[in-house]
């Protein structure tokens, strides 16, 4: 089996590639190393992959490179590449999002169609829903993106659907809900929170902290991708991938306080444009079609991310504390009140 994984140096792409390598005759990784965070962090993500003889890395821009030769002979494409983040997608930055998230996706789909690729897995986002009309949200809900980023991810989904409907290309779009865990991008909330908690620095929280998210550990997302390469799926299928760890940001901070070596110093700043009030997914379709259910709860998942940060920061933290924190299961996220299935706000 020959796989092509785009965004292979990233948080999710690198871990998807690692899990596919044992079953791959060849795995081609593609990344253009955008400057959204330091290249050194992305190179760290690639360390294990680079040591494997069946892995090769191509540093190319999907929006400009000739993709026909790259995709030729590939069985499965896992398109994890894209420019992430809600806040930077406003204003002048939007054109870059269109290039990386829409144009690159269309060019890769076209190459995959011409090459006869067996399965095309697209990494989408819960951002396509915006502030949903009902919770928990199923794939049948009308997408209403609340940010330019969400608009570009939905455009990628529609392109997958168009290639499936017109050419029979077997595409599946996985809508990720707030993914966290080891290797998380530096701009993401859990990364910022844990780094600050380990260093004794200030934590910046946007808005009241009452925003609710359906947190999903990266291990569960990786497993969904692997299953999506093999399952019998109708072309153009869209699936929610969510962890079932529904909590608000303030509850997460309470949990984190028991895992990091320094007291949390929280500073509240203004709510940011594009941030939705809540995400909460129904994942019945992923369970039915992939046999997938989330397995990592928020307590264990956050502990795994803290352990990763502490390993990276070990020289900085040396001498501050001698003990390693185990997950404190007496501190769990406060339950978010369940609302009627047809209500919001």
| Catalytic center residues | 149
DSSP annotation of 151 reads H
Residue carrying the six token digits 């792409």: 13
Partners of 212 in the beta sheet?
A: 248, 278
Measured in degrees and rounded to the nearest 5, phi and psi for residue 145 equal: -55, 145
- Angle of CA points 8, 14, 17, to nearest 5°: 85
Q: Report the interhelical angle of 39-50 vs 11-20 (nearest 10°).
A: 0
Q: Are 160 and 234 in contact (CB under 8 A)?
A: no
Measured in degrees and rounded to the nearest 5, phi and psi for residue 4 equal: -120, 120
Q: Are 228 and 270 in contact (CB under 8 A)?
A: no
Q: What 3 state SS string does 271-323 have?
A: CCCCCCCECCECCHHHHHHHCCCCCCCHHHHHHHHHHHHHHHCHHHHCCCCCC
Give Cβ neighbours of residue 271 (< 8 Å, ≥ 6 apart): 206, 207, 208
Instruction: Please give the C-alpha separations between residue 112 and each of 66, 70, 171, 330, in angstroms, as whole numbers.
Output: 12, 10, 10, 50
Q: Are 84 and 149 in contact (CB under 8 A)?
A: yes
């Amino acid at each position: 089996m020959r796989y092509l994984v785009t965004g292979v140096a990233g948080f999710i792409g690198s871990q998807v590639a690692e899990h596919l390598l044992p079953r791959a005759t060849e795995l081609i990784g593609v990344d253009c190393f955008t400057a959204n965070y330091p290249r050194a962090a992305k190179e760290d993500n690639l360390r294990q992959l680079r040591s494997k003889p069946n892995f090769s890395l191509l540093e190319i821009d999907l929006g400009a490179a000739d993709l026909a030769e790259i995709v030729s002979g590939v069985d499965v494409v896992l398109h994890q590449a894209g420019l992430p983040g809600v806040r930077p997608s406003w204003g002048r930055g939007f054109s870059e999002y269109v290039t990386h998230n829409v144009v690159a996706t269309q060019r890769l789909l076209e190459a995959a169609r011409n090459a006869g690729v067996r399965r095309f897995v697209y990494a989408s986002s819960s951002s396509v829903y915006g502030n949903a009309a009902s919770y928990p949200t199923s794939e049948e809900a009308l997408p209403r993106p609340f940010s330019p980023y969400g608009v570009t991810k939905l455009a990628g989904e529609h392109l997958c659907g168009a290639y499936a409907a017109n050419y029979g290309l077997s595409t599946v779009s996985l809508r990720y809900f707030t993914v966290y865990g080891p290797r998380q991008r530096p701009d993401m909330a859990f990364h910022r929170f844990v780094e600050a908690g380990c260093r004794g620095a200030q934590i910046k929280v946007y808005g009241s902290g009452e925003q609710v998210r359906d947190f999903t550990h990266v291990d569960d997302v990786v497993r969904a991708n692997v299953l999506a390469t093999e399952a019998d799926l109708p072309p153009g299928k869209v699936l929610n991938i969510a962890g079932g760890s529904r909590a608000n940001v303030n509850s997460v901070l309470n949990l984190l306080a028991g895992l990091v070596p320094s007291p949390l110093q929280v500073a509240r700043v203004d709510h940011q444009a594009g941030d939705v009030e809540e995400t909460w997914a129904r994942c019945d379709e992923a369970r039915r079609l992939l046999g997938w259910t989330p397995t990592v709860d928020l307590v264990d998942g956050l502990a795994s991310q803290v352990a990763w940060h502490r390993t990276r920061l070990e020289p900085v933290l040396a001498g501050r504390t001698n003990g390693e924190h185990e997950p404190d299961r007496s501190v769990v996220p406060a339950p978010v009140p369940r609302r009627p299935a047809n209500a919001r706000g």
